[in-house]
Structure 1
Amino acid sequence: MPAPRLFIDIHILHSLPPSNANRDENGTPKHAQYGAVRRARVSSQAWKRATRTTMTTDGQHIPEKASTRTKRIAALVTARLAETTGIGRPQAARLANSLLSNLEITPGRRPTETAYLLYFGKAQVDGIVALVADQAVELVALPDDELAKTVKNLPVKEQLGSGHPVDVALFGRMVARIPQLNVDAAVQVAHALSTHPVQVEFDFFTATDDEKPRSEGTGAEMMDTTEFNSALYYRYATVGVQQLIDNLDGDTDAALKALKRFLNAFTRSVPTGHQTSFAHHTRPYLTSLVVRDCPVNMVTAFERPVRSTDGIAAESAKRLAAEFAETQITWGYEPIATHSSYSPCQTDDLGAELGQPFQFARAVEATIAAVRDKLSDEGRA
């Protein structure tokens, strides 16, 4: 029986005050044209990075099972070989380079680096080291050609191609030259867009010299400007549940734990650009977690930009709820389960489309339970 198509859509309305959370090469807050007006934008890469960082502080982070993204895999393997086997660093580096040559990764400008970043788990490095740990002393005694021949057929690719950490299982990995190492991402993240038109503003600031004698004048020693904007963003991501289970070697319980961590981290995270200047530590105005058999991005609710002289959030929430209803009427996309978090005191008449509001932690638990039940039902069918 084919695996069920099951997705969790995350819809968020998130207000950021004056900030520059994600800037372009000129220091300008990123933007995009949508609905014929300029919108504030935060790239999907920036919010994924913020999510991964938040997951390292969620109380469930285990450093030895963590992931890393680096050009320096050889240095990591070298360090673990030296630590595990007791051989010297030069010998460990020689053995590490022989092992990793099996990957046929394009070398970088420095001999200790690859040409591009690799995303992998630290436990996978330990798996590579374990392939030779028991015979490391004998191997490093071999001439270069014999060493290369001896380790040539060791399953280095297999070590990097299985046993993925949660981060890699969620966000995937692309290695163009080595398809065997590719991991299809279970998570897709859209660029966050403001629900309304936005203009860039400028903060003019000065800095003075605290030790400057008054006799030399009172003028500033530096003057500059920082660009910023403020916006209510519509954020969207979707998680392919079956893809996540597959990426974690079929472990459903591990996938559901990873899913819970992602939902919490993605919702609570904020990109940290210029954070010390703007302190944009806000939480979402509204969050809706929807279990579906087909992902649906609701950004079309805001193709006609929201315009208001009395706040943006409440009207944006009504637009989002109306889009939920329209999606069901037009396309017949009935959600399997919907669990939302919002303030009924600030936003009326959302219950019919978004469900009655939950505390966010309860919304996450209810969503995970709905996924577990659906998977269980499919398993019995």
Structure 2
Amino acid sequence: MSRTIIDIHVLQTVPPSNLNRDDTGSPKTAVYGGVRRSRVSSQAWKHAVRDKFETELDDSDLGMRTRHVVEVLDRRIRERAPELADRAEELAKATFKAVGIKTSAAKKEEPEQSGYLVFLSSRQYDNLADAAASAARAGGNLDKALKERDVKALADREHSIDVALFGRMVADVSDINVEAAAQVAHAISVHAVDNEYDYFTAVDDHDEDEERTGAGMIGTVEFNSATLYRYAAVDVDRLAETLGSPEAAQRAVEAFARTFVTSMPTGKITTFGNRTLPDAVLVRLRETQPISFVGAFEEPVTAGTSAGRLSQAAIRLAEYAVEVERKYDQPPAASWVVHVGRATEALAGLGQDGTLDELVKGVGDEVAQRLAGTA
């Protein structure tokens, strides 16, 4: 039985920047192919994608990841059942108890929180709020009334697109976990990097003592610049199963493709103004398994006298993709390319060459056909 998997490969050049810092404030790195590379963690890029979802998707398609679950549900109950406002907090606590998610307060006067981040969709909060209000109106034993409304099941239905894509782990109630439909790799540079330091000074604008010289502040900021290889994959069948709707799955794939390509982590962005768009995007639709092409860069790219790193990276990526797919008999079922300028021309022949809008529409249409069984 064939599957539907979307692979997204991106080459993106970023100028001096510090997109994703480690615990010392240094840009994250990794050793690959025996040399140190610039690295941006998958968590950082997924967070950037989720932020950008807010411009692509309706609030009803999104979720919230927070420890303040009681406070959020309290607010939903007040909005949907104003006459129960004085009991909203009590109802919220009882509801999460019935779901199986433990909450507690660090101090007596503070609101209760879960012990970990809980990822619930907007619709799930609404459904839980309605169930809590219904149980309260029924009177009698609240815990029994909530159990009769099967609030645990309500927390495991109508998942949001971001929950379906990135998954959910609930430590207290493992049977409502959601397996992620998307895989996002750590972005790494196609070449070796050495982090550099920017020494800066700042003047005290209010200091009027002409005899006092020197800066009001001095410091250093660590940075590097890199041409990154970024990769993500989406299991469309799992996505459709979790969301329960082919239309929702198509919408999710289109939103993820666009936001993964155009998003960027915002670490130190006001200091470096490093926002760029990718130089090249290659999307492959597969029927067997996801395939990363990071092996094209196991031997680090070096800058030549007649060609920069980007053009060499594009040639490497194009050659490696074709060779891997031929040797392992894994041709794509469909393919799309967006590339900018002559440096990435090597990728133009690997798929339907066009704009990002055309790529997103093409991927969405193909996904819709396959989920409908007409591909």
TM-score by length of 1: 0.91
- Identity, % of aligned positions: 38
The whole-number CA distance in structure 1 between the counterparts of 2:270 and 2:366 is: 40
TM-superposed CA distance for 1:197, in Å, is 0.1
**Match for residue 345 of structure 1 among 322, 342, 345:** 342
Distance 1:159 1:64, change over 3 A: same
Q: Alignment partner for residue 171 of structure 2, among 176, 185, 207?
A: 176
Amino acid at match of 1:174: M
Letter of the 2:101 partner, please give it: I
> Structure 1 CA distance, aligned partners of 2:49 and 2:16?
21
State the partner residue of 1:371.
Answer: 367
User: Is the contact between residue 181 and residue 239 of structure 2 (CA under 8 Å) also seen in structure 1?
Assistant: yes
Look up the match of 2:326.
Answer: 329
Letter of the 2:120 counterpart? F
Give the counterpart of 1:253 among 243, 247, 252: 247
Q: Identify the residue that residue 319 of structure 1 maps to in structure 2.
A: 316
- Partner of residue 27, structure 2: 29
Deviation at 1:183, TM superposition (A): 0.8
Matched, 1:74 2:70: yes
Whichever residue aligns with residue 62 of structure 1, its letter is D
Q: 1:344 to 1:162 in 2, by over 3 A?
A: same
CA distance in 1, matches of 2:262, 2:322: 26
Contact 1:81 1:87 in 2 (8 A): no
Distance 1:218 1:70 in 2: 48
- Residues of 2 paired with 1:350 and 1:80: CA distance? 49
Partner secondary structure for residue 56 of structure 1:
helix
Superposition CA RMSD, Å:
1.9
SS at match of 1:215: coil
- Stretch moving more, 337-346 or 287-296: 337-346
Aligned residue pairs total 368
Other-structure match for 1:195: 190
Give 1:91 deviation, angstroms.
Answer: 1.6
Deviations 1:73-110 (A, max 9, x none): 11111122223222454421112211211122233453
The residue type equivalent to 1:268 in the other structure is T
In the TM superposition, what whole-angstrom CA distance separates every residue of 1:223-276 from its partner, at most 9, and x where no partner exists?
110100000000000000101100111x11111111101100010000000011
Q: Which residue of 1 aligns with 2:48?
A: 50
How much does 1:351 deviate? Answer: 3.8
* SS of alignment partner, residue 124 of structure 1: helix
Question: How far does residue 344 in structure 1 lie from its aligned partner after superposition?
Answer: 5.3
Query: Which residue of 1 is the match for residue 205 of structure 2?
Result: 210
Corresponding residue SS for 1:217: coil
In structure 2, the CA distance between the partners of 1:88 and 1:128, relative to structure 1 (3 Å rule), is closer
Q: Within 2, Cα distance between the matches of 1:242 and 1:331? A: 23
Q: Which moved more, 1:13-22 or 1:109-118?
A: 109-118
| Structure 1 portions without partners, runs of 5+ | none
- Which residue, out of 14, 17, 25, partners 1:16? 14
**What is the TM-score of this pair, normalised by structure 2?**
0.93
Runs of 4+, deviation exceeding 6 Å: none
